[in-house]
Amino acid sequence: MASTPNGLARIETHGKKHENGICHDDSAAPVRAQTIDELHSLQRKRSAPTTPIKEGAASAFAAALSEEERQRQQLQSISASLASLTRETGPKVVKGDPARKGEAAAKGAPSPQPQPHHHHHHPHVTPTISVSDSSLKFTHVLYNLSPAELYEQAIKYEKGSFITSTGALATLSGAKTGRSPRDKRVVKDEAAAQELWWGKGSPNIEMDEHTFLTNRERAVDYLNSLDKVFVNDQFLNWDSENRIKVRIISARAYHSLFMHNMCIRPTEEELEEFGTPDFTIYNAGQFPCNRYTHYMTSSTSVDINLARREMVILGTQYAGEMKKGLFGVMHYLMPRRGILSLHSGCNMGKQGDVALFFGLSGTGKTTLSTDHNRLLIGDDEHCWSDSGVSNIEGGCYAKCIDLSREKEPDIWNAIKFGTVLENVVFDEHTREVDYTDKSVTENTRAAYPIEYIPNAKIPCVGPHPKNVILLACDAFGVLPPVSKLNLAQTMYHFISGYTALVAGTEDGIKEPQATFSACFGAAFIMLHPTKYAAMLAEKMQKYSATGWLVNTGWSGGRYGVGKRIKLPYTRKIIDAIHSGELLTANYKKTEVFGLEIPTEIDGVPSEILDPINTWTDKGAYKETLLKLAGLFKKNFEVFANYKIGGDSSLTDEILAAGPNF
Ligand SMILES: Nc1ncnc2c1ncn2[C@@H]1O[C@H](COP(=O)(O)OP(=O)(O)O)[C@@H](O)[C@H]1O
Ligand SMILES: C=C(OP(=O)(O)O)C(=O)O
Ligand SMILES: [Ca+2]
Ligand SMILES: [Mn+2]
């Protein structure tokens, strides 16, 4: 044993071997790093190159070159998307996180170069500014980040972002917790004036091209003023022949993760071939629009320009604007190809029987299409083409208020890592979510990829629908829980698009509010409702689909007296539609609405099938029934002058299919 100058034995720390050759020092081999930063750099393994290196030396060299070229083209495309229309060049964009300086170079990313950009010609000539401060800086692009990377960005930089006890990302959408339909504008150029639905009842509030460009410039300048922007390149529509490429440019990781979940996620190969998007969203939601700008009536504006294939969002961070904004675009693009776009959920039985669930917000599309015994095709947006149905989206957007594990286990279990949870309240310490808490909003939401539902049908396509279920949440309590509709009745109720929810969240009894929204989605349609109705009638006839009206609302009296029909009963009713049991049931006809209602359904108390039985005050029932019938009649007046489909006999039948009193 060696001695130190002071005579004490030196403590040996390594290299000491026992007779049997085994080292008993408990420390493992030292890490191969000199500093903590180097150690951290070891943590992250570099992702494999997306282009597989091909066999042979020469082609390997070619592949490496093409990878670099591809990266360059991708940055050029993003730079072009972000280019100002009043300045000569696009911004200098560089891939990577500005907080991780130096790494991009280390990873061999191409050095950033300002890209020449040939902008679209537009009539409002603006002087060209060749040098500006904005062209001196770089905009970092966080391109198609993974959920894990987006979590880190959100938690680091966005107030109100937390990981919940089940791993979801809790976020706040800011001042707006729902859509702003009164701020949704569409450029009315010559073509749009001809093709689109304008005027009373239409969701399309007009704006001119110049105002759109003003707002676009505002959004682009805002985005370019930031250190970094998120860019998602994704797809819409699982029907591969009618797939739309969308690019979403946003300032928040929340928005990027939301769209990652809601749109169809490209594979690495698909991303390499992505090229130029068909449609681009500029989401500058944190930044308001300028009320001195023509047409602006608030600080919010959601603007669509079909000719430019662009959408600009100013003054709202509610992510649903992007989802439903793109849905509007599909309502324009698809009918031009003879494809019907539908605001509906969709699922399929194991035998291949497909059902559509139409309905306004809160009526049960998401809840009822998510069915443990069936394959989920989608919860909200679909297309019906000559080859069948296809989901437009890659994810679901479920309401979370009062969510329970028992009643909705599939949705409950989908709220895990990767899921965006909007505006929920959770325990400060345990991060357990209280789904009953409405402190932020009643419209709490979860956005998750569709494959988080165990029985999702991937790819999300199916054959022609067998059943078309129209959902209404009737807070007046007079519509039957289920009725079988003939084609004319189906069209009448489809065009009416009725639901009645209870306004406000305050205590005390409130008058139910009847809502009529054509095609169960007037907020999203672009053409006149009769165009969609005619297509639906034609398809239902051609493929022999049966229409049903299902009331998921009140029973035993109106809101305040009766109760919302129990979800397990509604599920039994839906089961009986799917199984065919209801096709052969005995029916009787109701007064006023003339609806065919079954007298018996397995698992549902027979007395609730005719609402009159559940009301103790029969006089009040009749009065309420007539009141609702009157509202239907009044709403339908505007459609009386339109022809639906090729011949006028269907139009006459539809007009006669409403309430009679
Ligand atoms: N009988 C019922 N049928 C359907 N949904 C019900 C019923 N009773 C209560 N609900 C609740 O109503 C809400 C329906 O909302 P959701 O399915 O998200 O509608 P949509 O997708 O059409 O907007 C859910 O919160 C669900 O739990
Ligand atoms: C997201 C929406 O859809 P729904 O409420 O129908 O689920 C919406 O209407 O904003
Ligand atoms: Ca909706
Ligand atoms: Mn829904």
Question: What pLDDT, in 10s, does the model give residues 459-489?
Answer: 999 999 999 999 999 999 999 999 999 999 9
Structure tokens at 99: 């907080």
Cβ atoms of 469 and 577 within 8 Å: the answer is yes
The Å distance, Cα 571 to ligand 2 centre, comes to 21
Rounded Cα distance, 223 and 226, in Å: 6
Give the atom of ligand 2 at the shortest distance from the alpha carbon of 397: 7
CATH number at residue 620: 3.90.228.20
Ligand 2 mutation target, pool 379, 380, 400, most atoms within 8 A of CB = 380
| Strand 395-399 with 465-472, pairing | unpaired
Measured in degrees and rounded to the nearest 5, phi and psi for residue 116 equal -65, 140
Ligand 1: which of 361, 367, 397, 604 to mutate, most ligand atoms within 8 Å of CB? 367
Q: Is 380 a catalytic residue?
A: yes
Give, as residue ranges, everything with CB less than 5 Å from ion ligand 3. 361
Could you give the 3-state DSSP secondary structure of residue 177? coil
Report how many domains make up the chain.
2
The reply to whether 426 and 564 lie within a common domain is no
Angle value at C-alpha 366, between 236 and 498, nearest 5 degrees: 100
Same domain, 431 and 560: no
Give SS3 for 94.
strand
pLDDT > 60? residue 440: yes
What pTM did the predictor assign? Answer: 0.89
Q: pLDDT tens, 539-561?
A: 999 999 999 999 999 999 999 89
The pLDDT-based confidence of 613 (bands split at 50, 70, 90) is very high
Q: Is the pLDDT of residue 118 over 60?
A: no
Please state the atom number of ligand 1 nearest to the C-alpha of residue 359: 22
Res. 105 pLDDT band, cuts 50 70 90: very low
577: tokens are 């539609």
One domain, residues 332 and 471: no
* Domain finish residue from 410, 441, 462: 462
For residue 390, give both structure tokens.
């296809």
Residues 6+ apart with CB under 8 A from 88: 116, 117, 128, 129, 130
Query: Lowest-pLDDT range, 9-18, 169-178, 356-365?
Result: 9-18
Same domain? For 348 and 440 the reply is yes
Nearest ligand atom owner, CA of 370: 1
CA distance 215 to 296: 10
* Enclosing domain of residue 547: 465-656
Confidence of residue 41 (pLDDT cuts 50, 70, 90): confident
The pair phi, psi for residue 448, each rounded to 5°, is -135, 155
**Residue 64 is assigned to a structural domain of this protein:** no
- Kindly tell me if the per-residue pLDDT of 349 is higher than 50: yes
Measured CA distances, 559 to 116, 367, 415, 621 (Å): 62, 21, 31, 12
User: 294: part of which helix (H) or strand (E)?
Assistant: none
Query: CATH number for the domain including 411?
Result: 3.40.449.10
**Residue 344 C-alpha to ligand 4 middle, in angstroms?**
9
How do beta strands 138-143 and 228-236 pair?
Answer: parallel
Q: What is the CA radius of gyration of the chain?
A: 29
Do 384 and 347 fall into the same domain?
yes
366 is a catalytic site residue: yes
Q: How far apart, in whole angstroms, are the C-alpha atoms of residue 478 and residue 592?
A: 11
Residues 426, 415 share a domain: yes
Considering every ligand atom shown, identify the ligand nearest to the alpha carbon of residue 435 and give its number: 1
Exposed, middle or buried by CB within 10 Å (0-12, 13-18, 19+), for 561? Answer: middle
Burial class (CB in 10 A: 0-12, 13-18, 19+), 15: exposed
> Are residues 488 and 390 part of one domain?
no
The mean pLDDT of the chain is 90
Residue 122 CB contacts under 8 Å (≥ 6 apart), including other chains:
85, 209, 213
Give the pLDDT score at 28: 73
What type of residue sits at position 589? K
- φ, ψ of residue 86 to 5 degrees: the values are -110, -5
Q: Does some domain include residue 162?
A: no
- The answer as to whether 637 is a domain residue is yes
pLDDT of residue 112: 45
Chosen domain end from 416, 433, 462 = 462
- pLDDT digits 0-9 by tens, 120-145: 444 454 554 446 666 678 899 999 99
Which residue is catalytic, options 97, 353, 380, 410? 380
Is residue 183 included in any domain, yes or no?
A: yes
Residue 86 · residue 129 · CB < 8 Å: yes
Q: What string of H, E and C letters represents the secondary structure of 582-621? A: HHHCCEEECCCCCCEEECCECCECHHHHCHHHHCCCHHHH
Asked if 283 and 313 touch (Cβ cutoff 8 Å), the reply is yes
What band does 47 get if pLDDT is binned at 50, 70 and 90? confident
Same structural domain, 199 and 332:
yes
Mean pLDDT lowest among 123-137, 446-460, 518-532, 561-575: 123-137
Same domain, 378 and 263: yes
In this structure, how many other beta carbons lie within 10 angstroms of the beta carbon of residue 489?
A: 23
Indicate which residue's Cα is closest to atom 4 of ligand 1: 364
* Inside any domain, residue 69: no
The pLDDT assigned to 109 comes to: 44
Is pLDDT larger for residue 87 or for residue 485?
485
Name the token pair of 453.
């539902």
Q: With 70 as the cut, is the pLDDT of residue 652 above it?
A: yes
**Ligand 2 in contact with 320 (CB < 6 A)?**
yes
413 Cα to the center of ligand 2, angstroms: 20
Does residue 627 carry a catalytic annotation?
Answer: no
Q: How confident is the model at residue 65 (pLDDT cuts 50, 70, 90)?
A: low
Known catalytic residue at 367? no
* Tens-digit pLDDT profile for residues 223-264: 999 999 999 999 999 999 999 999 999 999 999 999 999 999
The residues facing 95 across adjacent strands are 141
Contact (CB, 8 A) for 638 and 200: yes
Task: Flag whether 214 is in a domain.
Answer: yes
Cα–Cα distance measured from residue 29 to residue 24, given in angstroms and rounded to the nearest whole number: 12
- Using the 3D structure, point to which of 423, 446, 462 is the last residue of a domain: 462
* Residue 520: inside a domain: yes
The single residue of 86, 214, 366, 390 carrying the catalytic annotation is 366
The verdict on 485 and 626 lying in the same domain is: yes
Tokens of 633: 């009649």
Question: Letter for the amino acid at 210?
Answer: H
| Average confidence (pLDDT) over 427-451 | 97
Which ligand has its closest atom nearest to the C-alpha of 363?
A: 1
Among the atoms of ligand 1, which is closest to the Cα of residue 569? 1
Active site residue 240: no
Determine which one of 139, 171, 316, 361 is catalytic.
Answer: 361
**Ligand 2 within 6 A of CB of 366:** yes
Å from CA of 362 to ligand 1 middle: 5
Q: What is the ipTM of this complex?
A: 0.95
Question: How confident is residue 49, by pLDDT bands cut at 50, 70 and 90?
Answer: low
Contacts of 245 (CB under 8 A, 6+ apart): 233, 234, 235, 274, 275, 276, 277, 278, 279
Residue 51 has pLDDT above 60, yes or no: no
Q: Report whether the peptide linkage leading into residue 52 is cis, meaning its omega lies within 30 degrees of zero.
A: no
Residue 164 counted as domain residue:
no
Distance CA 124, CA 577 (A): 57
Q: What is the pLDDT of residue 104?
A: 46
Q: Are 386 and 412 within one domain?
A: yes
Residue with more model confidence, 110 or 591:
591
Name the more confident of 126 and 381. Answer: 381
Torsion (CA) 602, 607, 608, 611 in degrees, nearest 10: 140
Active site residue 265: no
Rounded mean pLDDT, 513-522 = 95
**Do 340 and 286 sit in the same domain of this protein?**
yes
Q: Is the CB of 359 under 6 A from ligand 1?
A: yes
Query: Residue 263 belongs to what H/E stretch?
Result: none
